[in-house]
Amino acid sequence: MTRNVKFIAFLTASLAALCLALTPARADDAATARLVIESQINAFLSDDMATAYSFAAPSIKRIYPDENRFFDMVKRGYQPVYRPGNFAFGRSKAAADGSGIVQEVIIQAPDGEDWTALYSLERQPDGSFKINGVQMIKAAAPQT
């Protein structure tokens, strides 16, 4: 088994385990999560570092303690999120304990490639949601 096949198998198993631990999100929580994600993407498109950073969860802010570092990380590693062409929301799932949501976002990168971004949002003590991670999965090439 090649490294890529092993990685894909691991990734698939991990995603399956994650989905089993999740239940469909309540409509109001899903709408709130989508608003947070859309607001952050709009802040990236406007190069509004402070607003984009404000949607990051405390765990992300510990890793990137200032908005410049955070913004640089997104520009370097998450180009489809930083400068999306089109994007659309897919499925959303809530953690069984209500602690967060995973929201699927289909994104077209600046180079035209399609990606699925799995946003993980955690509920804050005040009830709001903050983004605590994004997993990028490149869409498979269409079969011809």
End-to-end CA distance of the chain: 25
Q: How confident is the model at residue 97 (pLDDT cuts 50, 70, 90)?
A: confident
What is the spatial distance between Cα 114 and Cα 43, in angstroms, rounded to a whole number? 21
Q: Please give the C-alpha separations between residue 116 and each of 32, 47, 81, 98, 105, in angstroms, as whole numbers.
A: 20, 22, 10, 23, 6
Question: Which stretch of 41-50, 76-85, 94-103, 134-143 has the lowest confidence by average pLDDT?
Answer: 134-143
For the segment 107-140, what is each residue's pLDDT rounded down to a tens digit? 999 999 999 999 999 999 999 999 999 999 998 7
Please give the pLDDT value at position 31: 94
Domain boundaries defined on the chain: 3-138
Q: CB atoms < 10 A from the CB of 22, how many?
A: 17
Please give the pLDDT value at position 59: 96
Give me the CATH topology for the region 3-138: Nuclear Transport Factor 2; Chain: A, (3.10.450)
